[in-house]
Amino acid sequence: MSALSTRIQNLSESATIKMAKLGRELAAKGVDVISLSFGEPDFHTPEHIKEAAKQAMDKNFTYYTPVAGYPELRKAVVAKLKNENNLDYDFSEIVVSTGAKQAIANAVLCLVNPGEEVIIPTPYWVSYSEVVKLAEGTSVFINTTVDTNFKITPEQLEAAITPNTKLFMFSSPCNPTGSVYSKDELEGLAKVFEKHPHVYILSDEIYEHINFVDKHESIAQFDYIKDRVVIINGWSKAFAMTGWRIGYTASTKELASAFDKMQGQVTSGTCSITQRAGVAAYEGGLESVLEMRAAFKKRRDIVYKLLSEIEGIKVNLPDGAFYFFPNVTSFFGKSYEGRVINDSDDLSLYLLEEGHVATVGGDSFGDPSSIRLSYAAAEDTLIEAMRRLKEALGKLA
C-alpha cells in the first residue's frame, strides 16, 4: 500500500508540464524537437523590469514581505485595474501570490467545501479540475465545441447550476482555445449569476493583453455580481515573466483575508525581488506588451493558414492567447507502421516521436477530440513545425 495520501494519488500530473518534459528529454538525446507544448512567451523579460530587480537586491529588498505583497505593489495593481479596466478596488482587496497558479489554488481552496460543485466549461486549462480535486469538490463540465467557438451560452450555464454549485471557473481569453468573450456575452452570463447569489465566479484574465479583437472585458464590470467575482491575473504572459512567479487576485476584502491566511500557512509572500520587478512592470507602460501582442498576432495568422491547409484538421481562428486547439478526430483509428492512433494523447505522442513536434493531447483540457499547440515561438520555427505536422499526419492511413 502506498504511503502517499489519496489526495496526491488522485491528482494527475500537469499535462502541459509533462509534455514539455518529454520534449526536453527527447531533445537531450540529440533529436531536433520543436516544442509547441508549453504555454510561455518566448520573449525575454523587458530590460526596465530586470533593472528594477537588480536595484531591489542592491537596496536590500531581500526580507520577508507582507503575505499579500508590498502595499506599493498592491496599489500598482489597483491603479492598473482602474486605468485599464475601469474597475474599482482597494489595495486591501488585492492578494499577490506565487504566480496566478497559486492565486487560483487560494481561491478554490478557500471557497469550495468537499462535495460542492464547480462548473467548468470545456475545454479548460489543465489545472482547474485538478485544484478542484484537491479541494474535494466536484467538477461539473459544460461542453463546448469548435463549432460554437468554444463559448457557452447563458442557457447552458443556467442548466448547469444547482443548489450545490459553489463556483464557476473560466478564462477569457481562453487557454487552450484562444476564445474571447465579448462584453455582451459576459453580460448574458452575469445575468444568470445575478439569479443565483450562492455562486462565485473565478475569472482568469491572465491572457488579458493577448487579445486581437477588442479591448479586454472583465465579468467583474457588472456591479450586481462584482462581490462574487475573483479576478485572477498576473505578469507571466503580459510581461514575459513566467519564471518570476507572480500573480494576484482581486476580490472582496473578506475573500482577500482568506487568501492571505491560506498563503500565510503555505508560502508567505512571493519573492521580494520579483515584487519590485512587478511594480516596475506596471509603472513602465504597455509598450513592450503591445510589441509582443503584434508578434503573436502575426504568428497566429501564419499558423492558422498553414494549419487550415492540413487535411483532416478542423480549426477556428482564435481571438486571443497564443494557442490553437484543432479538432483531430479524423485521425482516430488511423495508423502508421502498425502504430494505431486511438485518441488525442496517442496523436500527441505520435507527433512528438514521428514528427518531432511537442503538443499536448486534449484529454487533460477536458476535450479528447483535439490537441493544443502553443504558437509562442519564432515564425521560422512555426513554419517548420507546421511542415512537420503535415508530413507526420499525412503518413497516417
Is 39:14 a contact under the CB 8 Å cutoff? no
Binding to ligand GLU in span 162-201, by CB under 6 A:
175
Instruction: Give CA–CA dist 118/121, Å, rounded.
Output: 10
14 touches ligand GLU by CB under 6 A: yes
- The string of DSSP codes covering 97-142 is ESHHHHHHHHHHHHHPPTT-EEEEEES--THHHHHHHHTT-EEEEE
Query: Quick check: 40 binds ligand GLU (CB under 6 A)?
Result: yes
Judged by CB, which is closer to ligand GLU: 19, or 347? 19
Taking CB within 5 to 8 Å according to partner kind, which of ligand GLU, ligand PMP, none is near residue 349?
A: none
Q: Give the footprint of ligand PMP on residues 208-237 (CB under 6 A).
A: 234, 236
Cβ at position 363, least distance to ligand PMP in Å: 17
Smallest separation (angstroms) from ligand GLU to the CB of 125: 6
Of positions 55, 143, 153, 242, contacts ligand PMP by CB under 6 A: 242
Distance of CA 391 to the CA centre of its chain: 30
**Interface segment toward ligand PMP; rule CB under 6 A; list 96-104, 133-141, 150-158, 160-168:** 96-104
Least separation in angstroms between residue 123's CB and ligand PMP is 11
Residue of the chain from 23, 41, 99, 368 that contacts ligand PMP (CB under 6 A): 99
80 alpha-carbon distance from chain centroid: 20
Supply φ then ψ for residue 395, to 5 degrees.
-80, -20
d(CA 125, CA 175): 6
Regarding 17 and contact with ligand GLU (CB under 6 A), the answer is yes
233 is a contact residue toward ligand GLU (CB under 6 A): no
- Residue 70 or 128: which CB sits closer to ligand GLU? 128
One of 22, 34, 36, 39 touching ligand GLU (CB under 6 A): 39
Site string for ligand PMP, 144-173 (x = CB under 6 A): ---------------------------x--
Which of 102/175 has CB closer to ligand GLU?
A: 175
Report the C-alpha gap between 375 and 322 in whole angstroms.
6
* Residue whose CB is less far from ligand GLU, 161 or 326: 326
Q: Which residues of 316-336 are buried (b: 16+ CB within 10 A; e: fewer)?
A: bebbbbbbbbbbbeebbebee
Contact window for ligand GLU (CB under 6 A) among 27-35, 38-46, 80-88, 109-117: 38-46
Please state, in angstroms and rounded to a whole number, the distance separating the CA atoms of residues 68 and 283: 19
Q: According to the binding rule CB under 6 A, does residue 149 interact with ligand GLU?
A: no
Q: How far is the CB of 16 from ligand GLU (least distance, A)?
A: 4
Query: DSSP string of 305-348?
Result: HHHHTSTT-B-----BTTEE--B-GGGTT-EETTEE--SHHHHH
Between residues 20 and 68, which has the closer beta carbon with respect to ligand GLU? Answer: 20
Which residues lie below 8 Å from residue 340, measured CB to CB, with a gap of 6+? 333, 334, 346
- Residue 393 CB, shortest distance to ligand PMP, in Å, is 26
Radius of gyration, CA atoms only, the chain: 21
Give dist(CA 34, CA 75) in Å, integer: 40
3-state class of 96 per DSSP? strand
Residue 16 found at the interface with ligand GLU (CB under 6 A):
yes
The nearer residue to ligand GLU, 15 or 256, going by C-beta atoms, is 15
Could you give the 3-state DSSP secondary structure of residue 229?
strand
Q: Is 19 in the site for ligand PMP (CB under 6 A)?
A: no
Q: By CB under 6 A, name the binding residues for ligand PMP.
A: 39, 99-101, 125, 171, 175, 204, 206, 234, 236, 242, 247
